[in-house]
A and B are shown apart, each in its own frame.
Chain A
Amino acid sequence: MEKTIAAAYENAPKTWVYKLLLVFGVAAMLIWSSSTIVINDTTGSGLSVAKNILSGIFHPDTKLLFNFTNSGVLYLLLETLCIAFLGTIVGAVISVPLSFISASNLMPRPIALVGRLAIAAIRTVPAFIYGLMFIRVTGPGPFAGLLTMSLCSIGMVSKMFIESIEDLDKRILESLDAAGCTTFQKIRYGILPQLFPDFMSTLIYRFDMNLRDATVLGLVGAGGIGAPLIFAMSSYRWNEVGSILLGLIVLVMIIEWISAKIRTKLTRG
């Protein structure tokens, strides 16, 4: 009996070699990437800037915050919200056909693959490059931001749409076939009801993300709240920075709360 236990002990799989390699691998990677830790604080004002931003958030510029004109925080937030909203919708309109083309259970493999590559390519280009490209079309302003947002939404939205499409329950189609439905009827009563809640849920989630990303557009002059934020920062007007950040945080949290509510309702029916 002693022997069998000793044998069992010896027979333990030697996972430590594997673990050691893993630890070494991760450690090597971290050491390699630690070269990014360079504090380039030429002005030596890092800490005071951090303090200023914090104090700015707690003492926001209320004049700017509750200003109802075109340059007030409220209007800029509304503009950002509109860019995100319409961007999501336009993105969705483009994504629907694109994701049906790329769904491997509906289309032949080569076509689906090309579709997926196109989506991946669209995703690769960073938002600010799209922003610069659209500014040539529309001139600076929220319109360019909206178009940028649409293109940026396509990648993630199509990816999620494709997943929903590939998860379709085909047994329902079979039963509709058995009931003698035409192709159109099968799509209308067999496929759409399955896809609709998933699609809506994806879009609401994306809207939530777009709102966050839309703040960035101002950097290239494509509207929204980003531009005033940067101006305020580069001229060290921390109270303005504080009021803009505060407004942004409140807006994003409200939208997140609403979107979470709607999405749980969609999944639970």
Chain B
Amino acid sequence: MIVFDHVSKVYPNGTVGLKDINLSIQDGEFVAIIGRSGAGKSTLLRSVNRMHDITEGTLTVEGVNVSTLKGKELRRFRRGIGMVFQSFNLVSRTTVIRNVLAARVPEMPFWRVLLGAFRKEDKITALESLDKVGILDKAYIRADQLSGGQQQRVALARTLAQNPKIILADEPVAALDPVTAKQVMEDFVRINKEMGISILLNIHHVELAIEYADRIIGIHAGQIVYDGPSKEVNQDVLDAIYKEAVPQGKQT
């Protein structure tokens, strides 16, 4: 469960990232955040695992006040939340399974990390995660030899190997072609339905968001302008989300 309570974010240079966000996401939901570039989608998503700090309000994730976390507690907290990126963020020079095993690194003793000596349980977990996204046969191939869609699946397998309760996805299909994008979205749906993991993702393609997500959150200039089931999104709602941003000074 993720609860935003009057959350705001102002960047050090004065730019407003988020403005008075009130939001609650239940366990097992599939939520898509849509909006123009720079509307604050990424800021909203990244504040959940505190890759970005919020400046006002409280953000509670799984009963934990995120802003109070630091150091070791923050890292332990992050282990429960998976994250998938637009550019996959894989180490392209190593094998697929090594990339997935990276998810086990935070729990390993230092010498094992240094030598890359993973235990059998970790390897099995990694292989199972790869199996869940359907690319078990690619385990020992170098990551840069896979297609974009397969690489995003490796990234997905990496987050699954963390055993997360929530997966955050920052534009996960923006770098993929339309067909592959659909396949990856279907993976997300499957993970959401079969494993009960909450999924929160940013997305540019409105059609994909409406087709696959259960709930849509529309953001405009750092504020929520729509929050409701994906079936009820109509042209008026989209107009509200995608209208020209009003210049900062003129906003009331």
Contacts and interface: CB of A to CB of B under 8 A. Distances in A.
A50 interface: no
B124 A9 contact: yes
Contacts of B124: 5, 9
- Size category, B interface: 10 to 19
Contact of B140 (A1, A5, A11): A11
Contact of B128 (A5, A11, A13): A5
Interface string A3-40: 01100110111000000000000000000000000000
A22 to B, nearest CB: 13
Nearest to A13: B140
B136 interface: yes
A5 B126 CA distance: 10
B139 interface: yes
A4 B131 contact: yes
Interface in A177-213: none
Interface residues of A, number: 8
B59 interface: no
B136 A4 contact: yes
Interface string B111-135: 0000000001001100110010000
B123 A9 contact: yes
B114 to A, nearest CB: 14
A12 B122 CA distance: 14
B123 A1 contact: no
Nearest to A6: B124
Contacts of B140: 11-13
Contacts of A13: 140
Interface in B113-165: 120, 123-124, 127-128, 131, 136-137, 139-140
Contacts of B131: 1, 4-5, 8
Nearest to A5: B127
A1 B127 CA distance: 11
Interface of A: 1, 4-5, 8-9, 11-13
Interface of B: 97, 120, 123-124, 127-128, 131, 136-137, 139-140
Given A5-B124, A8-B127, A8-B136, 17 more contacts: A1-B131, A4-B131, A4-B136, A5-B127, A5-B128, A5-B131, A5-B136, A8-B137, A9-B120, A9-B124, A9-B127, A11-B140, A12-B97, A12-B123, A12-B139, A12-B140, A13-B140
The list of the 4 closest CB pairs from A to B, nearest first, reads A5-B127, A8-B127, A8-B136, A13-B140
5 contacts: A5-B124, A8-B131, A8-B136, A8-B137, A8-B139
